[in-house]
Amino acid sequence: MEVLPVYTYDHPILRKKLRPVEEITEEVIELALAMHRTMKNADGIGLAANQVGRDMQMLVIDLSHTEGNEDVKPLTVINPAIKAYSEEEVPFEEGCLSLPNLRADVIRPEAIQVKFYDTAMKEHEMEADGLLARVMQHEVNHLHGIYLFDHLSPMRRALLKRKLLGIKRGEVETDYPLWRDEG
Ligand code: ZN
């Protein structure tokens, strides 16, 4: 089962605003499948295309192995747009496969309304709250070149300096493959 290596802090592709998907090709379908495998292998609940080095507005989510979400079907989300946010905001401790072994509290709206396309280019409009709204916002951030690092305060970044440098140098233990610059 082929899994893709995950790009980590601070590869420039994690900073990129990704290109919308214009048509569903075999390449898009295959990437979606590979992203689901990669996410599952890493025990993740969400993954964006630039985290596997691809410039494409696509993300995958799977909450089915988390408590209380066993019935939530895995999602492949293309060209998403968050249309509305709840006024209520809540804190939650997030992780990110691109920042291994690091967690940070992030305050986000509790509920959202999101529009996206699936791999048949069928349009969906969905309301989400709780963990699904949380993951969707985290992954949509990725597609705009924003990720967990940007939610760390300057103080936290300073405290984590050594750890971040370790991640940057690939000196970090993970249960999933990380992308390495061969040069
Ligand atoms: Zn992430």
Domains of the chain, CATH where assigned: 12-168 (3.90.45.10)
User: How confident is the model at residue 73, as a pLDDT?
Assistant: 93
Name the percent of the chain lying above pLDDT 70: 98
Distance linking the first and last C-alpha atoms of the chain: 27
- The whole model's pTM is what? 0.96
How sure is the predictor about 180, in pLDDT bands with cuts at 50, 70 and 90?
A: confident
CB atoms inside a 10 Å sphere around CB 127: 13
Task: Summarize the confidence of residues 90-114 as an average pLDDT.
Answer: 97
Give the helix, strand, coil percentages of the chain, each rounded to 5: 30, 25, 45
Output the average pLDDT for the chain: 96
Task: Summarize the confidence of residues 131-148 as an average pLDDT.
Answer: 98
Question: CA-to-CA distance for 46 and 109, rounded, in angstroms?
Answer: 18
Tokens 């233990």 found at: 173
Distance 88 CA to ligand 1 centre (A): 22
Max Cα–Cα distance, the chain, nearest Å: 47
Distance 120 CA to ligand 1 centre (A): 25
User: How confident is the model at residue 117, as a pLDDT?
Assistant: 98
pLDDT beyond 80 at 160: yes
> Could you list the active site residues?
139
Distance 44 CA to ligand 1 centre (A): 9
Distance 36 CA to ligand 1 centre (A): 14
